[in-house]
Structure formats: C-alpha cells, structure tokens
Amino acid sequence: MSERLLSEFELIHRFFTGRDRGPGIALGVGDDCSLLAPRRGQELAVSVDTMVCGTHFFEDQPAAAVGHKALAAALSDLAAMGAEPLGALLALTLPRVDTDWLQEFAAGWGALAEQLRVPLIGGDTTRGPLAISVTVLGQVPAGAALRRTGAQPGNLVVVSGSLGGAFAGLQLEQQRRAARREPPAVEDSRCKRFFRPEPRLALGRTLRGRTRTAIDLSDGLLADLGHVCTASGCGARLSADDLPRDPLLADWPSGPSLAAALSGGDDYELLFAWPARQRGELRPLAAALQLPLTVIGEFVEGGGIQVLDASGTPIPLAQRGFDHFRPD
C-alpha cells in the first residue's frame, strides 16, 4: 500500500489496534485519552524513553528488533522501581510510511508486549526523522517503590545477569557492517543483548520489601551506580574480579573487557543495594528467578566510586558511561 493511500489513522488501525486490553485498563485506544484503574493502595509509576535512528539503532536495523528494544528499554525503568506494567503509549515519528517496516516493528513490539502482558493503550504518529518515544505506566504498592536513594555504607552492591554484552554485541555489529558481511537485515545471534534486551521486571517486583534501592543499567555500570551514590549520599568500592562479564568478552584483552563491563551501556540489568547480613539469601533468590545475582562490591562512607584489582589497588577510571550531551 502506498504512502498516499495510508492515512495516519489507517496506519494506527492497521498496525497497532487490538492490543489495548488488560487488567487495570478501563478504556483503551479510541478516545482522546485512555483510562487506567490501578488497584486500591497502588501508586502510579510513569516513565518515557526515546530512541533516535542513528543514535540508538541503525537505519537498516531489523525493524522487529527495533520494536522489541523500544519497549524493553522503557519497561526497564518500571523494573528498576519494582513496578508492574499497566500499559504503554507509543509515539512514532516516521520519515515516510513503509508498511513492511511497520509490520515488522509491530511484530517485534507485539511479541514482547504479549510475553510481558503490556497493553498498548495509545500514542501518536507524525512525519519527521525516524524516532520512537515510549511512555510506560505501571503500578506499585504505595510506599514500596524502589528508589535511587536509600543505599547505606555497608550495603552490598549487587547486579543481575552479566555486564558488557550489549556493548560487545554492538562492536560485532559495527565490525560486520564495516566488512559488509551478510545483508543488513540479518540479526547476528551474538548481538542479542544489543538487539533484544530483557527488562528485569520479575526481579524488580521481587526486590520490593527486601531493599529500598535499585537502578537499571542503561548508561553503563559506573554512570548508573554514580546516580545511586549521589542520591544516597555515599560512595562505592567495587572488585574488578567480581564483575560478571558477558561471555562475549572472554577473548577480549583485560583492559577493554573491564572497560566494557564498567562503562558499556544498554545492558538493562538491575543494580541494587542489599543488606550484608542477608547475603545468604541472594543464592536462593537467584535460583528462584533463574537469574544470576552477583555481589560486586559495597557501598562506603564518603563519595565517589573505586574499582580495585586483585591486590586491592585502585584502577584508574577514564570512561564513566554514556551521556547524550557529553562533549566529544
């Protein structure tokens, strides 16, 4: 179908309707607003995330992977707060109407949304450079939301999953493109952490009542841990040898491998504070979630972050993580 024959409302109806049903949705797509009905005693958690072509994804990246990642990245913020998703809003800025791209994008989005039970309850479309904005809405018991504040000296620093896999996947994808191997539409399975991250929603919900402090790792471990330290008024000391590095980093030299684990973005794992006296509870928790949980250090008095080598010597830190507005 040509762009001339497909209006904005036809586009929405064809690709994005019928996904707006779920608990907590009083009214879905079709009116000027959707209506939510959070359960009694719940607070509403709201976050927005934007992905821009050329910054967050390649122009010719498989559209299904773009749809998946757009939703996953936004849901990761709900995971970090311990919230349960109620629904999502999708705003698409498109340079033109490409029905094949939209069909794939909707399939990638829809598969993750169905898996995690996230209704699509509204949004907008407009013409312009390709960009995707996703607003997610969730609910969390009043007073139970996880925050960046609350970490205390002596608490353990714990991360889920592994670190550096998305950055390593991005490097592989860039190398493949530079060598012009394979059609651009092919997803390299080794790059899954970059193309299709997994928001840790179940972990976030499980952490409610067990800790007060969590953040998702979107801009890199050092950058995001720095946000927690600043908000909590403390510092952190990490062990380089304890970092759970992604298997893709196994053949990397030690320096670049450490840098990827510390500063590579897009992992979307959760970092949280944990009482040292309850360290023994992490193993059964990880087993129940089928998700590795690794102690990588502790929060300390003062400020700043130190990373120590095996001898206890601080390692000089250069790159701290991704910042859209950091000068080149």
- Alpha-carbon gap, residue 96 to 219, rounded angstroms: 30
How big is the chain, counted in residues?
328
Pairing of strands 214-216, 305-308: unpaired
Residue 41, burial from CB neighbour count under 10 angstroms (0-12, 13-18, 19+): exposed
Q: Annotated binding residues for Mg(2+), as ranges?
A: 32, 47, 49, 77, 124, 216, 219
Q: Annotated binding residues for ATP, as ranges?
A: 123-124, 148, 218
Q: Annotated binding residues for substrate, as ranges?
A: 56, 266, 322
Q: Which residues of 51-82 are buried (b: 16+ CB within 10 A; e: fewer)?
A: bebeebbeeebbbbbbbbbbbbbbbbbbbbbb
- Alpha-carbon gap, residue 280 to 324, rounded angstroms: 39
Tell me how many degrees the CA angle 2-68-137 measures, rounded to the nearest 5: 105
Provide φ and ψ at 246, rounded to 5°.
-60, 145
Q: Which residue has the tokens 């510390």?
A: 262
Report the sign of the C-alpha dihedral through residues 45, 50, 56, 58, in that order: positive
Q: Annotated binding residues, as ranges?
A: 32, 47, 49, 56, 77, 123-124, 148, 216, 218-219, 266, 322
